[in-house]
């Protein structure tokens, strides 16, 4: 029997050490599939030397500099999705506003915006499915409606806005009553678009990752504004009539200003705990963040030049797109870095920004170490200390 | 009230002061649950080459090796001490993974444990980022999220979880929450009586972990939580999400105002 077991490569390689000829796989973890044994070694960075700032000291202990949290497992398609779904949302919202003017001259613009919205939704869906560990089960996203999960809310909003924008786009030039149906769908899409455009900020805010959780009051503004910049840049790059250009430009200038203001607010929120703000200042995420801000400034400056200066318009649009992508990538990457820094989690909670922020904090927080001993704070304030 | 529950809440009380770091719990968990290998990796930083609980490792014994003396320590050469702690999913009262799960794959069982249904999970990975303890993880080659099930299969068969069953020093105790609490308080009083005043209970009640509520798997520790790689003040992210939703609402309305202004101002200007 031992020989046969040794000859069975599948049974040998998953490390379960269960001889299929003798045992059955019925355990709670028996379904877990293995391609490469090493894949499962938990949390990336375990075998790396922790960065200097993560190392433990007597005053700030860590477990050999190891992360407390698991790093997000999301791949590159997720930050690209942040950009794409933002485009879809902003296009849906602007299409609704332009439809409301009732101006027939702007009708082709409305149609184009609706198509931008629905095609970005389609790409978004693809990007999300590509990130799933089990892509064939993507429909399970609509299995429950769970308000505590921004991802569940996002899946429902994506389903709604793609349907509404799709109907609106198809019926843009339909005759009579059908066109009114299309417009109604367009307005519905615009309403859903308002929260949808920046909801991915809430999605990352609602995690244990320090830099994401700490920026929950500002990041939704940044993501919404950045999506407005993305859309106006896309519109400015493609040829339109003068009035359409003008609308896109005004929408974009407001978006760029809001983007710059809210990125400052994001930094201010993060800086309340220095370790939390670290990834926005250092490394690849810091470089992307700073590049995003610089390009947004340049894009804003160029978009303020007179509209007839074509090169400026194009340059502003290219920079605006790059700024939006760079900013969303930076936020994504900062979260990955932040989750691996144990001090970010510990410092934040010790500074009263854990549960203490939403009620009373843990009794662990009122412990002090005095001469190497753990002492409750109220006792430590006695005359002996 | 727990007393009136049809099925009493179950959980673990892990007394780290009697843990000898034998890793029998890790092995028993792997064996009973038929979990796959997760690679032989030499970390080079300590005797701990497991490092974390993860997708294929549902119990992990932390080895805290330090050049300091513990309270009341008299044996040994020089300033040197070990602390061991068998870490596991906490099965929180307010479980971040469960609240984040968009598919409903993560459920609360009749034993008050938190269970991931592998036939429903689509591997979105949201629970991984949501867990404030860094417990649940996604295995790349499997694609789904996995974590301790509190041996759901064994509980249904009226048996205790494999790790508690095998623990040779009764560092891991399994039982009804009420029972565990009185056991833990008794042990704490005993230690305090012996002069180990550093000892305290981590996660036994909502006073200690208000952000996640009571932890169904709670611990007796003798140093700050950080030493064991536990967060000092964990919080379920959902408790803070309302601020983000509010910001989003204002941002969305702002965008609507800008869109309307842009659309209508240009129309008027051109007429």
Using 50, 70 and 90 to split pLDDT, how confident is the model at A6? low
Q: What are phi and psi of A170, to 5 degrees?
A: -65, -30
* Cα gap B12→B25, rounded to integer Å: 12
| CA nearest to A267, candidates A278, A257, A256 | A278
| Overall size of chain A counted in residues | 385
Provide, as residue numbers in chain B, all residues whose Cβ is less than 8 Å from the Cβ of A81: none
Residues B193 and B208 in one domain: yes
HEC secondary structure over chain B = CHHHCCCCCEEEEEEHHHCCCCCHHHHHHHHHHCCCCCCCCCCCCCCCCCCCCCCCCCEEEEEEEECCCCCCCCCCCCCCEEEEEEEECCCECCCHHHHHCCCCCEEECCCCCEEECCCCCCCCCHHHHHCCCCCCEECCCCCCEECCCCCHHHHHCCCCCHHHHHCCCCCEEEEEHHHHHHHHHHHHHHHHHCCCCCCEEECCCCCCCCECCCECEEEEECCCHHHHCCCCCCECHHHHHHHHHHHHHHHHHHHHHHHHHHHHHHHHHHC
Residues B166 and B38 in one domain: yes
Residues B179 and B250 in one domain: no
CATH topology assigned to domain A77-339: Formate dehydrogenase/DMSO reductase fold (1.20.1630)
Tell if the CB–CB gap between B224 and A41 is shorter than 8 Å. Answer: no
Report A:221-240 residues touching B (Cβ under 8 A): 221, 223-225, 228
CA distances from B91 to A28, B62, B112, B152, B216 (A): 16, 19, 8, 12, 5
Residues B96 and B201 in one domain: yes
Residues B108 and B193 in one domain: yes
Residues B259 and B181 in one domain: no
DSSP state of A8: -
DSSP state of A17: -
The residues, ordered by sequence, that sit 6+ positions from A303 with a Cβ below 8 Å of its Cβ are A236, A249, A252, A253, A256, A312, A313, A316, A320
* Cα gap A277→A259, rounded to integer Å: 18
Are B247 and A216 spatial neighbours (Cβ–Cβ below 8 Å)?
Answer: yes
Long-range contacts of A265-272 (CB under 8 A, 24+ apart): A265/A217, A265/A218, A265/A221, A265/A222, A266/A215, A266/A218, A266/A219, A266/A222, A266/A331, A268/A218, A269/A214, A269/A215, A269/A216, A269/A217, A269/A218, A270/A211, A270/A214, A270/A215, A272/A214, A272/A351, A272/A353
* Cα gap A1→A250, rounded to integer Å: 77
Residues B223 and B128 in one domain: yes
Residues B161 and B245 in one domain: no
CB neighbours of residue A21 within 10 Å: 10
Residue of A131, A196, A364, A384 best to disrupt the B interface, most CBs of B under 10 A: A364
Tell if the CB–CB gap between A201 and B64 is shorter than 8 Å. Answer: no
In chain B, how many domains are there? 2
Residue of A9, A25, A98, A133 best to disrupt the B interface, most CBs of B under 10 A: A133
Higher pLDDT pick, A357 / A12 = A357
Using 50, 70 and 90 to split pLDDT, how confident is the model at A33? confident
Strand partners, B116: B106
Residues B108 and B155 in one domain: yes
Residues B188 and B222 in one domain: yes
Residue A385: the pLDDT is 32
Residues B221 and B243 in one domain: no
Our measurement of the distance from residue A303's CA atom to the centroid of its chain's CA atoms, rounded to an integer in Å, reads: 27
Residue A21: the pLDDT is 78
Element (H, E) at A43: none
Judged against a pLDDT cut of 50, whether residue A291 lies above it is answered with yes
Placement of tokens 């244990």 in the chain: A208
For residue B134, the chain A residue with the least C-alpha distance is A69
In the three-class reduction of DSSP (H, G, I as helix; E, B as strand; rest coil), residue A369 is classed as: strand
Nearest by CB: B244 against A40, A206, A346: A206
Residues B108 and B185 in one domain: yes
Are A27 and B146 spatial neighbours (Cβ–Cβ below 8 Å)?
Answer: no
Tell if the CB–CB gap between B255 and A90 is shorter than 8 Å. Answer: yes
Q: Does A197 touch chain B (CB under 8 A)?
A: yes
Nearest by CB: B252 against A31, A197, A373: A197
Higher pLDDT pick, A310 / A107 = A107
Placement of tokens 């869906």 in the chain: A125
Are A212 and A219 spatial neighbours (Cβ–Cβ below 8 Å)?
Answer: yes
Placement of tokens 């005053």 in the chain: A59
Tens digit of each residue's pLDDT, chain B (271 residues): 455 557 789 999 999 999 999 999 999 999 999 998 877 777 778 888 888 999 999 999 999 999 888 888 888 788 899 999 999 999 999 999 999 999 999 999 999 999 999 999 999 999 999 999 999 999 888 999 999 999 999 999 999 999 999 999 999 999 999 999 999 999 999 999 999 999 999 999 988 999 999 999 999 999 999 999 999 999 999 999 999 999 999 999 999 999 999 999 985 554 4
Range of the domain at B259: 237-271
For residue A214, the chain B residue with the least C-alpha distance is B240
pLDDT in tens, A47-87: 555 666 667 777 789 998 889 999 999 999 999 999 999 99
Are A194 and B253 spatial neighbours (Cβ–Cβ below 8 Å)?
Answer: yes
User: What's the CATH number where B36 sits?
Assistant: 3.30.70.20
CB neighbours of residue A75 within 10 Å: 12
ipTM of the complex: 0.94
In the three-class reduction of DSSP (H, G, I as helix; E, B as strand; rest coil), residue A62 is classed as: coil
Residue A9: the pLDDT is 59
Q: What are phi and psi of A255, to 5 degrees?
A: -60, -45
pLDDT in tens, A272-283: 999 999 999 999
Are B129 and A207 spatial neighbours (Cβ–Cβ below 8 Å)?
Answer: yes
Task: Retrieve residue A85's tokens.
Answer: 């779904």
Q: Does A146 touch chain B (CB under 8 A)?
A: yes
* Cα gap B134→B24, rounded to integer Å: 22
* Cα gap A109→A100, rounded to integer Å: 13
DSSP state of A355: G
Domain ranges (residues) in chain A: 1-36, 77-339
């Amino acid at each position: 029997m031992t020989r046969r077991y040794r000859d069975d490569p599948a049974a040998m390689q998953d490390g379960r050490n269960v001889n299929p000829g003798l045992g059955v796989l019925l355990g709670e973890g028996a379904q877990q599939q293995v391609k490469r044994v090493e894949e499962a070694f938990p949390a990336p960075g375990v075998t790396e030397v922790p960065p200097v700032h993560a190392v433990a000291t007597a005053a700030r202990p860590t477990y050999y500099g190891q992360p407390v949290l698991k790093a997000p497992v999301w791949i590159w398609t997720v930050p690209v999705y942040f950009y794409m779904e933002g485009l879809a949302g902003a296009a849906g919202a602007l299409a609704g506003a332009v439809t409301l003017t009732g101006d027939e001259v702007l009708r082709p613009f409305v149609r184009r915006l609706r198509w931008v919205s629905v095609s970005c939704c389609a790409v978004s869906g693809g990007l999300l499915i590509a990130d799933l560990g089990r892509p064939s089960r993507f429909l399970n996203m609509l299995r429950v409606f769970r308000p505590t999960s921004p991802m569940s809310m996002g899946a429902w909003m994506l389903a709604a806005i793609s349907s509404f924008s799709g109907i609106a786009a198809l019926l843009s030039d339909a005759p009579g009553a059908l066109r009114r149906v299309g417009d109604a769908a367009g307005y519905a899409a615009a309403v859903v678009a308002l929260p949808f455009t920046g909801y991915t900020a809430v999605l990352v805010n609602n995690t244990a990752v320090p830099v994401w959780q700490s920026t929950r009051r500002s990041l939704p503004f940044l993501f919404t504004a950045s999506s407005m910049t993305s859309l106006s840049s896309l519109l400015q790059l493609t040829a339109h009539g003068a009035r359409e250009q003008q609308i896109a430009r005004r929408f974009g200038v407001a978006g760029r200003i809001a983007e710059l203001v809210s990125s400052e607010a994001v930094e201010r929120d993060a800086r309340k705990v220095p370790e939390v703000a670290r990834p926005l200042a250092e490394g690849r995420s810091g470089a992307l963040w700073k590049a995003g801000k610089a390009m947004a400034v340049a894009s804003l400056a160029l978009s303020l030049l007179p509209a007839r200066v074509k090169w400026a318009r194009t340059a502003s649009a290219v920079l605006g797109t790059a700024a939006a992508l760079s900013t969303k990538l930076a936020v994504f990457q900062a979260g990955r870095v932040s989750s691996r820094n144990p001090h970010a989690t510990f410092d934040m909670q010790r500074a009263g920004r854990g549960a203490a922020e939403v009620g009373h904090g843990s009794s662990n927080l009122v412990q002090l170490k005095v001469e190497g001993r753990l002492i409750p704070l109220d006792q430590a304030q006695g005359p002996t200390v | 009230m727990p007393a009136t529950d049809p099925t009493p809440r179950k959980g673990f009380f892990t007394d780290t002061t009697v843990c000898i770091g034998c890793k029998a719990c890790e092995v028993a968990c792997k064996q009973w649950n038929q979990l796959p290998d997760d690679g032989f990796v030499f970390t080079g930083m300590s005797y701990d080459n497991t490092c974390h609980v993860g997708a294929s490792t549902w119990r992990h014994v932390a080895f805290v090796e330090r050049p300091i003396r513990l309270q009341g320590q008299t044996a040994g050469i020089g300033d040197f001490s070990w602390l061991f702690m068998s870490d596991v999913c906490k099965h929180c009262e307010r479980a971040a993974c469960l609240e984040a799960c968009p598919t409903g794959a993560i459920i609360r069982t009749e034993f008050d444990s938190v269970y991931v249904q592998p036939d429903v999970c689509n591997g979105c990975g949201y629970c991984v980022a949501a867990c404030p303890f860094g417990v649940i993880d996604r295995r790349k080659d499997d694609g789904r999220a996995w974590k301790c099930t509190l041996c759901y299969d064994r509980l249904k068969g009226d048996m205790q979880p494999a790790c508690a069953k095998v623990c040779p020093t009764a560092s891991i105790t399994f039982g009804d929450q009420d029972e565990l609490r009185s056991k833990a308080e008794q042990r704490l009083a005993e230690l305090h009586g012996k002069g180990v005043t550093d000892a305290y209970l981590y996660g036994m009640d909502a006073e200690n972990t208000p952000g996640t509520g009571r932890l169904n798997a709670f611990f007796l520790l003798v140093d700050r939580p950080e030493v064991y790689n536990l967060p000092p003040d964990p919080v379920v992210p959902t408790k803070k999400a309302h601020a983000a939703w509010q910001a989003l609402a204002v941002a969305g309305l702002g965008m609507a105002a800008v869109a309307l202004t842009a659309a209508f101002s240009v129309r008027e200007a051109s007429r």
